[in-house]
Amino acid sequence: QGVDAELALKPFMPVAIQVLECSFLSGIKVRKVNPLLSVLKPKLVLFPEDLKSRCPSKEDAPWSYLYYSKGKTIEIPNTREDFEVGLPTDVAFGLQPRQLDKAIAVARLRAKLHLSKGQYVLVAPKDQSDESNRQLLHWGAVDAGRLLSALQEKGIECAFPADDDDGPAGCERSILITSPGEALVKMAPEKTVIYCDDESTTRLIYDALSSVCNGI
């Protein structure tokens, strides 16, 4: 079943708590709680269990409610969707990023994730010499028409099966290969699979696939 990454990293997640101090005496009336929350705009509200009937959770509220009681432990959900990771300057200058769009670029790095003084840090080995020998990592859906043309440019005899039609975006497409070896390539939005018993033919198909996909 594999390892639950989020569960494994939980002990190392730094906890950030912002305390908002209200300039009034304790003993606020229940009817003033919701107006106060509207001003503070918290992400999570903890109420004593005794007040559950008087301060019930609301489905349309922009914040979540939890109720606690004395002597019992409750689990507080992690509301962070992402986090920042530090990278040494010398390692950052050695990266070869590929621009995806105006705001995002990706790079490949072999490193380990460490937690130091409440901050995540990527620690990379000095020897990254084997990077050039690694296979490319590809992403994105494959354009069946472009792949067919790329295969034919490499001298591969291939075609769409007779029952394969150019349906709407998101449907599965197939390419049937008859020479230099028999093979089948199936493309779906979430994956592309090559079915082939011949190693040399598989390599040609992979090279053609690499030419029409984004890779790093």
What is the per-residue pLDDT for 185? 93
For helices 144-153 and 199-212, give the axis angle rounded to 10 degrees.
130
Query: Domain 138-215 is in which class?
Result: alpha beta
Q: Which pLDDT score is estimated for 1?
A: 46
Domain extents in the chain: 12-68, 85-133, 138-215
Write the pLDDT tens digit of every residue in 88-142: 888 888 888 888 778 888 888 888 888 877 788 888 877 665 555 667 777 777 8
Identify which of 171, 168, 145 has the alpha carbon closest to the alpha carbon of residue 158.
Answer: 145
Confirm whether pTM is higher than 0.85.
no
Give tens-digit pLDDT for 199-213: 999 999 999 998 888
